[in-house]
Structure 1
Amino acid sequence: MPHTQTIYSWNVNGVRAVAARGQLAWLHERGADVLALQETKTHPDKLSAALHRPDGYHSEWCAGDVAHYCGVATFSRQQPLAVTRGLGHPLFDTEGRVLVTTFPQFTLYNIYFPSGSSGPERVAHKLAFYAHFLDVIRPRLAAGERIVVLGDVNTAYAPIDLARWRENAKTSGFLPEERAALGEFFAAGLVDSFRHHRPDTAAYSWWSQRSGARERNIGWRLDYIFVSENLRDAIVDAAIHPDIVGSDHCPVSVTLRLPDEPS
């Protein structure tokens, strides 16, 4: 029989600070089957047992070579069948940005994609990261694997995805080359679950911490959950959760109706 799974993704901008304020409690309250975190900014050895492995969940962490920078973690009710860290390229795997967990129903890529905000060299690195990710994912999609890719992509794709797109036409995160590179995700066969389910909804997942941007809802949609084409019809719901605070980002989610047989 089919069953549903709800998957959340959240750039927490420091997991210990968020946890200390009790802002991970909704993990249980909302019945998350999977919670993927980005920008954890810690090594799992530095965490309490309760945070390292929340009650009722299996946990996997990927930390970078530099302390207090980047990092991702995935909490899941199911124990993964396999876990991989990184994309298999030394240029992209030192910062702790990629955690891949394989479950019977799908393989989940939890990724904190690079930002290009510090200048042209970093934009080039970001675009190279995108391209290498696509090199990794395309053959898996072509083979018919069921795949979920989520995380902070650091690009708003279309004008509907940020409040002030005209003013930001030359700002990293909305540069033409970044948007074109994100468009290659769709060409490869990844479906933007939020835009598929809510094609005309303007909603944001990140706000500048200056000038009361969040209170005025002057934001960007930088956080995505993509699914492979063979999961498009499994999308039951996709949402953004601005009521969950504690970071400059808020969580995003997708609910999938999945078959019981393995992928």
Structure 2
Amino acid sequence: MNSIPDQHGRIAVVTGANSGLGRVTAAELARHGAHVVLAVRNTAAGAEAAREVGGDVEVRELDLASLASVRAFATGLAADHPAIDLLVNNAGVVLLGPRRTTADGFEVHLGTNLLGHFALTGLLLGNLAAAPEPRVVNLSSITHKNAHLDFDDLMFERDYRAAPAYGRSKLATTIFGFELDRRLRAAGSPIVSALAHPGLTRTNLTPRAWEHRGRLGKIMGRAGLLVTQPVEQGTRPQLYAATAPGVRGGQFFGPAGLWETRGRVTEARASRDATDPAIGKRLWSAAEALTGVGYGLR
């Protein structure tokens, strides 16, 4: 990852920076000179990560499953950093157990992976616009390609199944990234909204996703470790989206290998639903209503 340009003078915020993709992303940004804010739910784990990451970093508490926490984080960060150069919406949950909800009553995958980041981005939009070349990077997943949103049941209250719920949340996150780009362009904003996905990557979520299945879950978790790529490789698409010169709004990056599961960075293919402006507009309206965060972008 030595091709990352010099990041000195940039303020970068990485959600979920205490482990997995977020930790490597934060480490690489810091190694290349950025001041990195590790936005984490568990500040003790964040402090440990900060010691290992090194460089110019700070740890701040952020629980994306709580809109109150998102607002408190954004208020403090915005006051201390009037201009923010980069926001990497990396954090996510994948829980294959029974249906759970966030502090605000949202289905936990949609509430954390989409709505928490939607609120965070909107609350920091002014600070991002104040930077010279600002970017927002949303983390997608190849699982979004087989998902479809049900606007009559966004919270999956009927016939809940965890794996489809996760896929829907990543589709929603992908839709958000593309719709944000369309609205920023229309407003003449300097902010670039780009997207990335890591392919099949070996993170702490791989075995944990199967924990509730007992012995079978342990077997499946170990099998997942065998077919996935190292986290350092999986991080490359989002680092490219975050730092490569000339990245344009609406570009989507992922691995170039078979079915976009692993390999060098290339432009990825999003599903038809992910790039549909009508679906984007509808999801945007729903997210604004659910979070109470308005962007002022039409």
Q: TM-score, normalised by structure 1?
A: 0.44
Q: Which has the higher strand share?
A: 1
Q: TM-score, normalised by structure 2?
A: 0.40
Q: Which has the higher helix share?
A: 2
* Higher relative contact order (Cα pairs below 8 Å, separated by 6+ residues): 1
